[in-house]
Amino acid sequence: KNEVEQSPQNLTAQEGEFITINCSYSVGISALHWLQQHPGGGIVSLFMLSSGKKKHGRLIATINIQEKHSSLHITASHPRDSAVYICAVRDNYQLIWGAGTKLIIKP
Amino acid sequence: NAGVMQNPRHLVRRRGQEARLRCSPMKGHSHVYWYRQLPEEGLKFMVYLQKENIIDESGMPKERFSAEFPKEGPSILRIQQVVRGDSAAYFCASSPRETGGPQMKLFFGSGTQLSVL
């Protein structure tokens, strides 16, 4: 069993839909990162969470430390949101990465 | 304030050549991390450096790989005598403070894609 599990692996949705990507982990962590990897390979850090909820524009990330679960939500999705979204948990500076969720938003 | 800068964006080398990958951290950041992403795999930690010091190189292959972060200039990841298995995306991240604790935020570069022919 992987230490970080993401679901779904692939997600295709229509523009405007509300998107949820889930991440469950089985190890102790000091923080959880949500990252976005574009087709060109570049990685952008979206959020770093250690508790609660964060919001940035149309993106919302939540974490439940007791349940070892985090979610990334995208409201009013747009084709430019199409990318791979990666959950990574951190213990000190060691990062354990999920396999990623490939999101495609169709116009 | 420019982000983490990596260059080159793409690097092609023949087997046996040397590859040098550069990472300029964000201004004010003195901590640099290198990660490698092999095809179809997640990122793997390689090495953590502070200025002029290697703090943790436990993820770095024992041979052919080395890293430095001099007092002046970018951090360099050096791969000697490259082999096809070295083909991967190499990402650098920087942070402004020491490791540990929930407040350490990593800022990632866009990566260098190394292709070994």
Peptide bond into B8 cis (omega under 30): yes
Q: Which residue of B has its CA nearest to A91?
A: B100
B84 by DSSP, 3-state: which?
helix
**Cβ contacts of B105 on chain A, cutoff 8 Å:** 45, 48
What is residue A38's DSSP assignment? Answer: -
pLDDT over 80 at A102, yes or no:
yes
Given this model, what pLDDT does residue A1 score? Answer: 61
Tokens encoding B4: 């983490």
Which residues contact residue B85 at a Cβ distance below 8 angstroms, ignoring those fewer than 6 apart? B116
Chain A contact present for B100, CB below 8 A:
yes
> Which helix or strand (DSSP H or E) is residue A91 part of?
strand A83-91
A contact test, residue of B106, B110, B113 with most A CBs within 10 A: B106
Given this model, what pLDDT does residue A92 score? Answer: 62
* Structure confidence by residue, pLDDT tens digits, B52-103: 899 888 889 989 999 999 989 999 999 999 999 999 999 998 887 655 544 5
Average pLDDT over chain B reads 88
* Structure confidence by residue, pLDDT tens digits, A2-28: 789 999 999 999 999 999 999 999 988
Q: Which residue of B has its CA nearest to A29?
A: B102
Facing residue for A30 by CB, picked from B42, B101, B110: B101
* Structure confidence by residue, pLDDT tens digits, A43-85: 778 888 888 999 999 999 999 999 999 999 999 999 999 999 9
Given this model, what pLDDT does residue A38 score? Answer: 76
Task: Give the span between the Cα atoms of A28 and B113, in whole angstroms.
Answer: 32
Given this model, what pLDDT does residue B10 score? Answer: 94
Task: Give the span between the Cα atoms of A97 and A4, in whole angstroms.
Answer: 6
Task: Give the span between the Cα atoms of A46 and A34, in whole angstroms.
Answer: 5
What is residue B26's DSSP assignment? Answer: P
Stretch A92-100: mean pLDDT, rounded?
76
Given this model, what pLDDT does residue A41 score? Answer: 65
Cβ atoms of residues A30 and A91 within 8 Å: yes
Given this model, what pLDDT does residue B103 score? Answer: 52
- Around Cβ B51, how many Cβ atoms within 10 Å? 14
Given this model, what pLDDT does residue B102 score? Answer: 47
Instruction: Break chain A down into helix, strand, coil percent, rounded to 5.
Output: 5, 60, 35
**Cβ contacts of A3 on chain B, cutoff 8 Å:** none
Which residues contact residue A51 at a Cβ distance below 8 angstroms, ignoring those fewer than 6 apart? A63, A65, B102
B contact test, residue of A44, A94, A102 with most B CBs within 10 A: A94
Q: How confident is the model at residue B13 (pLDDT cuts 50, 70, 90)?
A: very high
Contact across the interface for B106 and A44, Cβ inside 8 Å? no
Chain B contact present for A44, CB below 8 A:
yes
Facing residue for A94 by CB, picked from B42, B45, B104: B45
